[in-house]
Amino acid sequence: MDVSRRKFGKLAGLASLAVAAPAIWTSGRAQSRPIRIGGSFSMTGPLSATKAGLVGLQIWRDDVNAKGGLLGRQVELVTYDDQSSVAQIPSIYSKLVDIDKVDILLSPYGAVLSAPVMPFIKQRNRFMAGMFTLASNDGVKSERFFQACPWGPDGKVNWARGFFDIAKASGCKRIAVLNADVEFAKVSAAGGKAAIQEMGLELVFEQSYPPNNSDFSAILRNLRATTPDAVFICSYPPDSTALIRGLSEVGIGDSVKLFGGGMVGPQYAANLQALGAALNGIVNFNLFVPEPTMTNAAVNSFLTRYRAIAVPEKLDALGFYIPPSYYVAGEMIAAAVDGSGSTESAAMATWLHANPVRTRVGTATFNDLGDWTERRVLMTQFQGVKGNDVDQFLQAGRQVILNPPALKSGDLIQPFMKARGA
């Protein structure tokens, strides 16, 4: 290393001049050395359900290596457990870069854990694939950060825009917003409120509640009294379940046409199984569902292989939500390495900014902040769910895609209470 750390700090201020710096890290190494891809995973702690993503990444690695690797080099993964804790992140990423000398970085799961890495990659001028991080790059504006999830441009405000498009199209005017006091839900709710204002809708109710709230009857009664047309919910798995149960018990009133939007939980097999028919009518986001407009042989084979690993390891038994995005991150990295003929951050970033990437869930092009230029967050409605059998969610028609229009696979059933079969 012939560039001192102090000099690095100054270079960080002048990012445009620093294009040459990363070359120092990787140049002059033997070409036969494996390409190392590193990142942290939440193997333990509150976010540990997200570790299913590692299986997705491992399947990609196996695929790539079976085809002879990248640039003729094998791909190797270097992963650490961040215990779902921000405090662990700085030392893990320093280790990945300074000790393990990984070539390519993957972000930790989500915006909270990624927040400490963002200044770091900006300072070190490193390429990084963002995993489920919403609006992480809005602050430091790194040119070498690329989002693997299709939140779309200006994801913070717009990722759940599909819900409001559907609301507007079905004549909803009065909107209620309810969110959990956790990062993702809070950001999403703020985005929802911005969308409401922008589209000329009326915000009639807003409320946040503590994580792990188990009784929603009081909240739902307050909400019902405002007679909303649509209810935008941003919740986390335990409270999503409690909320949906509460819905059946307390009811929501006849005014509601649309319910859901940003609920995390009804993507996971365990929650789908627990809720069963109580899900009917809910319109909620997902990143993949097995509808004819989305599915193809490649995705199916990926999911089959994922399940073969996940079910014995007691990971999410469906794998629709998290694992495919890790495979997509791999495809994105592979395209950039092959396309630029290099594992250098600068070359990969330049290539990705200039070229589209074909992935299993569609073609991606990236804007200046590394977000997908096209939003591909699905808004699906649960329809015809019967009993608590989890396998029914593998069939088409259970989670009908309403938005984006290009992937639409069915029509909205409304009002909400009718869609619930009540």
Comparison of 5 and 67: residue with beta carbon closer to other proteins: 5
Comparison of 264 and 294: residue with beta carbon closer to other proteins: 264
Nearest approach in angstroms of CB 46 to other proteins is: 7
CA 399 to chain centre: 18
Residue 294 vs residues 179, 254, 300, 331: alpha-carbon distances, Å: 29, 33, 10, 18
Comparison of 95 and 353: residue with beta carbon closer to other proteins: 95
For residue 252, give both structure tokens.
């929501």
Distance, in Å, from the CA atom of 165 to the CA atom of 170, rounded to the nearest integer, reads 9
List the beta bridge partners of residue 277. Answer: none
Query: Amino acid letter at 81?
Result: D
Comparison of 65 and 273: residue with beta carbon closer to other proteins: 273
**Number of helices and strands (H, E) in the chain?**
17, 14
Nearest approach in angstroms of CB 315 to other proteins is: 7
Burial class of residue 129 (count of CB atoms within 10 Å of its CB; 0-12, 13-18, 19+): buried
Nearest approach in angstroms of CB 190 to other proteins is: 9
End-to-end CA distance of the chain: 68
Comparison of 200 and 210: residue with beta carbon closer to other proteins: 210
The sheet that has 145-147: what strands, in order across it?
Answer: 75-81, 35-41, 104-109, 128-131, 145-147
Cβ count near 186 (within 10 Å)? 14
Q: Are 361 and 294 in contact (CB under 8 A)?
A: yes
Nearest approach in angstroms of CB 130 to other proteins is: 15
Nearest approach in angstroms of CB 389 to other proteins is: 11
- Residue 79 DSSP SS3: strand
Comparison of 211 and 356: residue with beta carbon closer to other proteins: 211
Comparison of 75 and 219: residue with beta carbon closer to other proteins: 219
Distance, in Å, from the CA atom of 299 to the CA atom of 221, rounded to the nearest integer, reads 42
- Identify which of 45, 104, 46, 118 has the alpha carbon closest to the alpha carbon of residue 75: 104
Nearest approach in angstroms of CB 245 to other proteins is: 6
Nearest approach in angstroms of CB 371 to other proteins is: 18
Q: Are 409 and 295 in contact (CB under 8 A)?
A: no
For residue 379, give both structure tokens.
């808004």
Nearest approach in angstroms of CB 237 to other proteins is: 7
Comparison of 158 and 240: residue with beta carbon closer to other proteins: 240
List the beta bridge partners of residue 20. Answer: none
